[in-house]
Amino acid sequence: MRKTLTSLAIILTSTTLWAVDVETVAGRLADDVTDATTTELTLHGTIDARDFRFIADSLTQLTTIDLSGVEIVAYRADKPTFGTQTDFEQGELPQQAFFGSKLANITLPTTIKVIGQAAFAGCEQLQTIILPEGLTAIEPYAFSGSGLTTVDVPATVANMGIGAFANCPQLAQATLNCPVIGERAFMGDAALESLTLGEAVTVIADEAFLNTAITGINLSTLPALKQVGTLAFASTALATAALPQQGVAVGDGALFNNALLTQANLPDDMEQVPAYVMAGNEALVFSHIIPSQTQSIGDYAFYNCAADVDTLHIPASVNYLGTRAMAGAIGMKNIFVAPTTVPQLGENVWEGVNQSIVNLDTREGDGNDIADLYGEAEQWKEFHILHNYLLGDANTDGEISVADITAITNHMMEEESDHFDAILADVNQDNEIGIADITAVVNILLEEREITVIRRAPAHNSNVAGELLLDDLHIKPGTQQVIAMSLNNEVALTAMQCDVVLPQGLRIVAVNGTNRTTGHHFTTASFNNITRILVTSDTNELMDGNSGEIALLTIEADETTTGDIEVRNACAADPRATAHRLAGTSAQTGTVTAVDEITDAQARVFTRNQTLVIDAPSHATAQVVAVNGTSTSLQLQPGRNETQLSAGVYVVVIEGKGHKIVIP
In a domain? residue 202 = yes
Same domain, 9 and 107: yes
Helix axes 435-445, 402-412, angle to 10 degrees: 180
Query: 612: domain CATH number?
Result: 2.60.40.3770
Same domain, 6 and 83: yes
Residue % of the chain over a pLDDT of 90 = 59
Residue % of the chain over a pLDDT of 70 = 91
Same domain, 467 and 570: yes
**pLDDT interval class at 366 (50, 70, 90):** confident
In a domain? residue 219 = no
In a domain? residue 225 = no
| Pairing mode of beta strands 150-153, 173-176 | parallel
The pLDDT of residue 576: 84
Q: For the stretch 587-611, what's the b/e string if a residue is b when 16 or more beta carbons lie within 10 angstroms of its beta carbon?
A: bbbbbbeeeeebebbebbbbbbeee
Same domain, 157 and 87: no
Residue 96's Cβ-side half-sphere holds a number of Cα atoms within 13 Å equal to 11
In a domain? residue 221 = no
How many Cβ atoms from other residues are within 10 Å of residue 379's Cβ?
18
Same domain, 236 and 366: yes
C-alpha of 585 from chain center:
45
How many Cβ atoms from other residues are within 10 Å of residue 6's Cβ?
10
Rounded distance between C-alpha atoms, residue 160 and residue 181, angstroms: 6
Query: 270: domain CATH number?
Result: 3.80.10.10
Same domain, 445 and 563: no
Is the pLDDT at 8 greater than 80? The verdict is no
Instruction: State pLDDT tens for residues 216-248.
Output: 999 999 999 999 999 999 999 999 999 999 999
The pLDDT of residue 594: 33
Query: 476: domain CATH number?
Result: 2.60.40.680
Is the pLDDT at 1 greater than 70? The verdict is no
Q: Which of 444, 403, 447, 393 is nearest to 423 (CA)?
A: 393
Instruction: State pLDDT tens for residues 10-28.
Output: 333 334 457 889 999 999 9
Amino acid of residue 481: Q
Greater model confidence, 434 or 161: 161
How many degrees, rounded to 5, is the angle at CA 205 between CA 201 and CA 207? 130
Same domain, 49 and 99: yes
Query: CB within 8 A of 117, min separation 6: which ones?
Result: 83, 95, 96, 139, 140, 141, 142, 161
The pLDDT of residue 67: 97
Q: What value does the mean pLDDT take over residues 527-554?
A: 89
> CB of 577 within 8 A of CB of 394?
yes
Rounded distance between C-alpha atoms, residue 319 and residue 341, angstroms: 8
Q: Which of 614, 617, 611, 559 is nearest to 589 (CA)?
A: 559
**pLDDT interval class at 644 (50, 70, 90):** confident
Greater model confidence, 215 or 613: 215
Using only C-alpha atoms, what is the Rg of the chain?
46
Greater model confidence, 585 or 431: 431
Q: What value does the mean pLDDT take over residues 48-73?
A: 96
The pLDDT of residue 619: 87
**Domain end residue (candidates: 406, 432, 456):** 456
The pLDDT of residue 359: 92
Greater model confidence, 451 or 606: 606
Q: What value does the mean pLDDT take over residues 127-138?
A: 97
Q: What value does the mean pLDDT take over residues 110-127?
A: 97
Q: Which of 92, 114, 17 is nearest to 61 (CA)?
A: 17
Which residue range forms the structural domain that includes residue 100?
A: 1-112
Q: Which of 237, 180, 186 is nearest to 209 (CA)?
A: 186
Same domain, 235 and 359: yes
Greater model confidence, 581 or 404: 404
**pLDDT interval class at 46 (50, 70, 90):** very high
In a domain? residue 223 = no
In a domain? residue 467 = yes
**Of the given ranges (297-306, 316-325, 447-456, 488-497), which has the lowest mean pLDDT?**
447-456
Amino acid of residue 403: A
Is the pLDDT at 446 greater than 90? The verdict is no
Rounded distance between C-alpha atoms, residue 585 and residue 498, angstroms: 11
Is the pLDDT at 453 greater than 70? The verdict is no
Greater model confidence, 625 or 229: 229
In a domain? residue 246 = yes
Rounded distance between C-alpha atoms, residue 147 and residue 125, angstroms: 5
**Domain end residue (candidates: 112, 128, 152):** 112
Rounded distance between C-alpha atoms, residue 158 and residue 182, angstroms: 10
Cα dihedral 91, 95, 100, 103 in deg (nearest 10): 0
Same domain, 358 and 239: yes
Instruction: State pLDDT tens for residues 184-203.
Output: 999 999 999 999 999 999 99
Query: CB within 8 A of 176, min separation 6: which ones?
Result: 153, 195, 196, 197, 198, 201
**Domain end residue (candidates: 385, 406, 441):** 385
Q: Which of 30, 60, 31, 28 is nearest to 46 (CA)?
A: 28
How many degrees, rounded to 5, is the angle at CA 437 between CA 432 and CA 441? 155
**pLDDT interval class at 588 (50, 70, 90):** low
The domain total for the chain is: 6
Same domain, 141 and 181: yes
**pLDDT interval class at 101 (50, 70, 90):** very high
Greater model confidence, 462 or 303: 303
Same domain, 429 and 314: no
The edge-to-edge listing of strands for the beta sheet with 150-153 is 150-153, 173-176, 194-197
Is the pLDDT at 212 greater than 60? The verdict is yes
In a domain? residue 367 = yes
Is the pLDDT at 456 greater than 60? The verdict is no
**pLDDT interval class at 41 (50, 70, 90):** very high
The pLDDT of residue 627: 63
**pLDDT interval class at 66 (50, 70, 90):** very high
Query: 423: domain CATH number?
Result: 1.10.1330.10
Average pLDDT, the chain: 88
Same domain, 398 and 267: no
Phi, psi of 592 (to 5 degrees): -85, 130
**Of the given ranges (96-110, 162-176, 644-658), which has the lowest mean pLDDT?**
644-658
